[in-house]
Amino acid sequence: MNDSAQLQHRGLIGESGVPPEIEIKAKAIRRETGFPVGWLITPSAIWLLLFLVIPLLSIILFSFWSAEVGKLDTSFTLENYAGFFYNEGFFDPQADRFLSISVFVKTLWNTFRFTLEVMALCLLLGYPIAYFLAMRVEKFRWQMAFFLLCMVPFWTSYLIRAVAWIPMLGRRGLLNKLLLNLGVVDEPVDFLLYSEFGYTMALVQLYVVLSVGPIFFSLAKIDKTIIEAARDMGAKTSHILWEIIFPLSLPGVAIGMVFIFVMIMGEFATAVVVYGAKTSTVGTVILNYYAVANYPFAAVNAIMLMLAMMIGVVIILRLVDIRKEL
């Protein structure tokens, strides 16, 4: 006799109650709705295992090997990590490099510092735009149209957008023309292209939309009646901005910053296009060591990059609770 038949034939309803073991079974039957979870997640889980988890674990493994000519020596060593941090002559007071930081740590630090600069610029430039879209544009249709106009560049190739800076920044580029015509400088300046200035400009233009989007969504969610209430009670505009709108937009700010942080820390293509070969970010260092087949050392740099990124993301998420947003 099957379960459902049993359910129907145990006396009259309300007479003896449903026996507990059958109640559990009935609940189990009711719960089983939708497709089985196992089938739904298996393809993605296998894919992620193959192309995300295993490559990651193997990088960690490779970082403890060492490069020989033509192949890898698979015996365990910490040499690569030592090479990343330690500088020859660090402890020798007579040497030039006494107490100087290794070039790889310096590159990582520079990448980090530079990323923070670009993040700050993106926030400064993007926040007013998000505020304008969410608070100043009243018609929903226009809001969406203006917002989409901002977001379109995100969907175009960022390599191409980096290339597009060349006619702007070069010695005979548009910015130099503008400076000359305005009389700011007497002759074309060189510091625009292939410099940190040009690199910053290009990165801000490439990634600023990533701060506009999330901040816009946060701001648009704010209940307008709160602002009305504050205004009715006599709050000044600056007060409303600082004590209501800004705190409520923080989750959006955090999400935007995490996006930009992650993107720029791993950046290397833009650096090559608008900065030329002069620069080194952690990304270019990794590629250089890959090119000379020193995979273990490339792996160490990659792991350090990842650690720095994880620390950065954790700090941002500690400062702002974004769970409300999800």
Partner 1 sequence: MARWSPQRKKKAWYNFLFGGYYAFFIVFIYGPMIAMFILSFQGRRGGTTFPMRGASLYWWNKLIEPSSVGDMQGALGRSLILAIIVMLITALFSTMLAMAFRKKFFGSGVLFYTVMAGLMMPGILLSLGLAVLLKQMGIPTAWWSSGLGVHVVWTLPFGFLVMMAVFNRFDSTLEEAARDMGASEWTVFKEITLPLVTPGIVAAGLFGFTLSYDEFARTTLLSGQYNTLPLDINASMTQRIRPTLYALGTASTIFSILMIGLFLAVSSLLQRKSR
Site residues (CB under 8 A) for partner 1, limited to 193-252: 205, 208-209
Binders of partner 1 among residues 18 to 57 (CB under 8 A) are 33-35, 37, 40-41, 43-45, 47-48, 50-56
Q: Count Cβ atoms within 10 A of the Cβ of residue 325 and give its class: 0-12 exposed, 13-18 middle, 19 or more buried.
A: middle
Candidate residues 18, 105, 166, 317; the one interacting with partner 1 per rule CB under 8 A: 166
Three-state SS for 73?
strand
Residue 4 is a binding residue for partner 1 (CB under 8 A): no
Among the residue ranges 101-109, 164-172, 219-227, 314-322, the one whose residues contact partner 1 (CB under 8 A) = 164-172
Q: CA quadruple 319, 321, 325, 326: dihedral positive or negative?
A: positive
The one-letter code for the residue type at 5 is A
To the nearest whole angstrom, how small is the minimum distance from the Cβ of residue 41 to partner 1? 5
To the nearest whole angstrom, how small is the minimum distance from the Cβ of residue 24 to partner 1? 18
Q: Rounded to an integer, what distance in angstroms lies between the CA atom of residue 264 and that of residue 260?
A: 6
| Binding characters for partner 1, 115-154, by CB under 8 A (x = yes) | ----------x--xx-xx---x---------x-xxx-xx-
Candidate residues 94, 140, 155, 183; the one interacting with partner 1 per rule CB under 8 A: 155
To the nearest whole angstrom, how small is the minimum distance from the Cβ of residue 68 to partner 1? 13
Nearer to partner 1, 87 or 131 (CB): 131
Q: Rounded to an integer, what distance in angstroms lies between the CA atom of residue 99 and that of residue 213?
A: 44
Q: How many residues does the chain have?
A: 326
To the nearest whole angstrom, how small is the minimum distance from the Cβ of residue 95 to partner 1? 33
The token pair that represents 29 in the structure block: 């039957």
- Centre a 10 Å sphere on the Cβ of residue 300 and count the other Cβ atoms it contains: 27
Q: CA quadruple 308, 314, 315, 316: dihedral positive or negative?
A: positive
Which of 293, 286, 260, 261 lies closest to 272, judged by CA? 286
Q: CA quadruple 87, 89, 90, 95: dihedral positive or negative?
A: negative
Question: Under a CB-based contact definition with an 8 Å cutoff, are residues 154 and 209 in contact?
Answer: yes
To the nearest whole angstrom, how small is the minimum distance from the Cβ of residue 50 to partner 1? 6
Q: Rounded to an integer, what distance in angstroms lies between the CA atom of residue 296 and that of residue 84?
A: 11
Candidate residues 189, 290, 317, 325; the one interacting with partner 1 per rule CB under 8 A: 290
Candidate residues 10, 106, 177, 278; the one interacting with partner 1 per rule CB under 8 A: 177
Candidate residues 213, 295, 316, 322; the one interacting with partner 1 per rule CB under 8 A: 295
Question: Whole-angstrom distance between the N-terminal and C-terminal Cα of the chain?
Answer: 47
Nearer to partner 1, 87 or 162 (CB): 162
Nearer to partner 1, 90 or 164 (CB): 164
To the nearest whole angstrom, how small is the minimum distance from the Cβ of residue 61 to partner 1? 9
Nearer to partner 1, 99 or 144 (CB): 144
> How many residues touch partner 1 (CB under 8 A)?
74
Torsion of Cα atoms, 98 then 100 then 105 then 106, to 10°: -150
Nearer to partner 1, 51 or 242 (CB): 51
Nearer to partner 1, 107 or 205 (CB): 205
Binders of partner 1 among residues 258 to 287 (CB under 8 A) are 262, 265-266, 268-269, 272-273, 283, 286-287
Nearer to partner 1, 50 or 101 (CB): 50
- Assign residue 68 a region (left: φ > 0; alpha: ψ between -120 and 50; beta: otherwise): beta
Q: Rounded to an integer, what distance in angstroms lies between the CA atom of residue 117 and that of residue 264?
A: 11
Spacing of C-alpha 77 from chain mean position? 32
Nearer to partner 1, 175 or 244 (CB): 175
